[in-house]
Chain A
């Protein structure tokens, strides 16, 4: 039986629930000191003096660093690249300037974390403070055109404005999303260990060990081969741990100076300013359509904040480039506003989850303006050609997502009139939205070793973020080798392993997975060679293609011959056979077809009209993520993504204090994420299938797709329930009353 396609439980589940899994902060090290960062309380200005005397004298303190004595670093490299990604270009503790609240200004190293933290409170800082600039509708008027980052900043296909100007029906609305933070359960932590021979090991909370190695190498000026990055388990990444943030560099430098291992863990509050977040957006969507709902023109513009020293772009309008056909044209643009904050970063699901809220809300408004059913409207504007690149989509099961999802949800029974559905005192609302998600193709390497006992080892420098990587790689290798999954051990998260790509953009299954498949096939082929032409070759004279693998055996069915891997290796006096997998795909944008994942999602909400409370009643998500490798971990991804989207829709917002420019609610008590009580049964189904353009495994990205369009589906359901169109997330009580 194939392992791929089976709902295998996580191989590391027991380790995790028993606490045996070793996360980055759990690695025990002899002689380790602890670091605590002291951060600025102002958001703009400079430090005039930093008095560290009492801190240095406090119990247990080993060293105190400020910009006066912190070893120098090289600047972060330009241009920015996924190969050596810095979270933000500005490195603290090098000068007296302060550009954002919560910027590191001192670092205390002590015997214990408590001692370091306490000593930090004894540091006296004098500032010269200027009024900070915060992001709001007023300052958004100062938005400027940024240089391109991940994609072109603006796009124009055809003539969108013409399509809008001549349309029978137009929708022109502004939608806003809030600042949000990842709030992974596991805080960012970096443990730096220098060996006698000047090699640096970093136990790091990272989704990108190889990128971290390159960036650390560049900024600290040490050759990459002298750096090892280890990350065996992550307690959530969500994009926030994809790039290298300044604290990692500080930990490495401090460990060098104090000449012992140093562990630097951010506090929950510091995770709001020392690592990234999802920036708020102000988006304008203009749709022009015929009376039957056929789109003629789409214009989508977005403004988001970025710090004074970086040009981070939330590509919210990206989705509009490829989601629906618009006969006359599609135009998009992004602008940024420079404010006093730290640099935003990718957060599940960057760009798309923000843009789809605007675009798919606008589509619902168009449905109501034209009287066309929301599902029918999307079927009408579906396209087999990517409007942006003009390439055909490799696979696009949007229709299937729409029709299967609608059927599972019971969309037919919905009465379209707002406020027309009730359950006792509650108003019931049903809404839907679709989504498109970028597919990333990246190079990845892996090695598979088959041992004499018939077991196999997979080694690849990818990551386990909580998504089930250990399990799915086991499945992929097991099938390619023809062994039982239990026979396969997987090693991840160490730069001494074959190099892989960042575990972001939902890319791991399709890319790292492909490298594992190729490596396992290479090992299998090596074994087949031995069976055909090795010592005492059992299948001598047969063709490689005649040989099948199953149950730990090589089988020549035609002659009813078989031999186990174990026997084969023993016969050849080998302890192992090894296969290398080198997956080197063309970049998605350069391929012959446009590769994206798709979904259609359906939400039912229950609104207490007297108290303005919105709760999710049920949810159906239909996803085209290509071939599903493990339905169980895939479903878990979808559930997590939907819940993530519920947070975006109803709860999450990082509030900025207008005076101090601090994120004011920087803790779990003030920053609300959904609890179990907020989440009903979630129904997940998969449409589509094998996509050979996406990956040799046939898989497309799933994890982030599932967090997209939850918010517009809910907002559309709220409109259906109440007649109120909420264009500003999250949808809280005061917006309903």
Chain B
């Protein structure tokens, strides 16, 4: 690892100011992703600003309109164990619990989680292969290389990576906001707009800029929250990133779907909303499998699998159906 210095931030405003001034400064929270990236030569911050002591960012609190504000420094395990979260938004608790390992969840923060970078093996390869995310302009090794774990939606020739966060997928289904503190104060970014598609600049994962700090994630109160579920499909039963995952949240009237929210992980450079399917599913009967399947399929007409992940489109449709049924059973 390269040499670096580290200091501890005590005030959010000053942290943001320091971040704005120094292109080589990086925040560090749990460090569970950043240190790995530094060891793999995929991040080279000269200075780390430890934000763990910043006051007021670790809570899970009710908002005036009945939603939840989850602090950026709240640990994954604490959020997953929070009673409000478990009862009102099981999709969040599950998205967290199915992620990483117990030890990692105790260290890892919510802000760090949605900021974590792709697990594309080329991106993490210390021997520096062609990777536009690692070294802009060097090419994309995965495009014609090993791409089983890569995207089927929204990729570009410059990058076919997926975003690895589980809880971000749950948050996408719940249309959460990422609350960001900048030099001009706080702003809220809908999570759908927070992560980017790769386009020609895959080195940028999110819209977050210099001099900005995530302070919280806000989830509105919503009927769909309770009847929600996070399904993670992976080769190994535990401790693995998703092959594909589905966050489903529904509101029903009897067995009929009144409203559906669906987002997927493991299929794109960002949590992938299935808006076409959501519309098509409205009014569908949970027991009419054929209708559900047809409605789900509407979101897959633009799937573009790569050489090694053709199965993902099929697997995704099946996973969405399962997640929908499980969420529906909670309604």
Instruction: Using CB atoms and an 8 Å cutoff, list the residues of chain A in contact with chain B.
Output: 39, 41, 101-102, 114, 117-118, 121, 269, 610-613, 615, 650-651, 655, 657-660, 662, 664-665, 667, 669-670, 672, 674-678, 732-734, 737
Chain A, Cβ-Cβ closest to B321: A610
Which residues of A are found within 8 Å of B125, using beta-carbon distances? 662, 664
Interchain CB contact under 8 A, B237 and A678: yes
* Contact flags B125-148 to A (C-beta < 8 A → 1, else 0): 111110000000000010011100
Which single member of A101, A615, A658 contacts B145 (CB below 8 Å)?
A658
Q: Are B322 and A610 in contact (CB under 8 A)?
A: yes
A-B contact sample (8 more), CB < 8 A, given A39-B127, A41-B129: A101-B127, A118-B3, A269-B126, A657-B122, A658-B146, A659-B141, A664-B125, A670-B119
Residue in B41, B127, B239, B322 whose beta carbon sits within 8 Å of that of A611 in the complex: B322
A174 to B2 Cα, complex, angstroms: 48
List, in ascending order, chain A residues with CB within 8 A of B238's CB. Answer: 675-678
User: A residues within 8 A CB of B126?
Assistant: 269
Can you list 18 A-B pairs, Cβ within 8 angstroms, ordered by A? A41-B128, A101-B127, A114-B1, A118-B1, A611-B318, A611-B322, A651-B235, A657-B129, A657-B145, A658-B145, A659-B144, A660-B127, A660-B141, A664-B122, A675-B238, A677-B237, A733-B233, A733-B235
CA distance A2 to B154 in the complex (A): 69
Interface string of B209-245 (1 = CB under 8 A from A): 0000000000000000000000001011111110100
* B50 → chain A closest CB, angstroms: 19
A183 CB to closest chain B CB (Å) equals 14
Task: Indicate the size class of the contact surface on chain B.
Answer: 20 to 34
- Nearest-Cβ distance from residue A532 to partner chain B, whole angstroms: 63
Contacts of B247 on A, CB cut-off 8 Å? Answer: none
- Contacting pair B237 A675 (CB below 8 A): yes
Q: Do the beta carbons of B236 and A651 come within 8 Å of each other?
A: yes
> How many whole Å from B105's CB to the nearest CB in chain A?
15
Pick from B145, B233, B236: contact of A674, CB under 8 Å: B236
Q: A659: nearest residue on chain B (CB-CB)?
A: B145
How would residues 150 to 176 of chain B score, 1 for a CB under 8 Å from any chain A CB and 0 otherwise?
000000000000000000000000000
Task: Let me know if B235 and A118 touch, CB within 8 A.
Answer: no
Given the complex of chains A and B, what is the CA–CA distance between A613 and B315 in angstroms?
10
User: What are the residues of chain B within 8 A of A667 when measuring CB–CB?
Assistant: 124
Question: Which residues from chain A contact B122 at a C-beta distance below 8 Å?
Answer: 657, 664
Enumerate chain B interface residues (CB-CB to A < 8 A): 1-3, 41, 119, 121-122, 124-129, 141, 144-146, 233, 235-241, 243, 310-311, 314-315, 318-319, 321-322
The docked-state distance in angstroms from the alpha carbon of A610 to that of B122 is 31
A732 to B236 CA separation, bound complex (whole angstroms): 10
B41 cross-chain contacts in A, Cβ below 8 A: 121
Contact A664 B2 (CB under 8 A): no
CB distance from A645 to the nearest CB of B (A): 15
Cα(A102)–Cα(B1), bound, Å: 18
Residues A655 and B315 in contact in the complex (CB < 8 Å), given A117-B1, A664-B122? no
Cβ-defined contact, B237 with A615, below 8 A: yes
Cα A675 to Cα B241 in complex, Å, equals: 14
Are the C-beta atoms of B146 and A733 separated by less than 8 Å?
no
Contacts of B127 in A (CB 8 A): 39, 41, 101-102, 269, 660, 662
Cβ of A656 to closest chain B Cβ, rounded Å: 8
Q: Is the CB of A733 within 8 A of B315?
A: yes
Q: How far, in angstroms, from A664 to B127 measured CA to CA in the complex? A: 10
CA distance A669 to B125 in the complex (A): 12
Give CA–CA (A577, B319) in the complex, Å: 71
A657 B141 Cβ-Cβ under 8 A: yes
Which residues of B lie under 8 Å from residue A615 when comparing CB positions?
Answer: 237
Once A121-B41, A651-B235, A659-B141 are accepted as A-B contacts, the answer to whether A672 and B121 lie under 8 Å apart by CB is: no
Q: Assuming the A-B contacts A121-B41, A657-B146, A664-B121, are A734 and B311 also in contact, with contact meaning beta carbons closer than 8 angstroms in the complex?
A: yes
User: Smallest CB–CB gap between B279 and chain A, Å?
Assistant: 24
Which residues of chain B are near A662, meaning CB under 8 Å?
A: 125, 127, 129
Cβ contacts under 8 Å, A737 to chain B: 311, 314-315, 318
Interchain CA distance A102-B237 in the complex, whole Å: 31
Closest to A425 in B: B322
Chain B residues positioned under 8 Å from A39 (CB to CB): 127
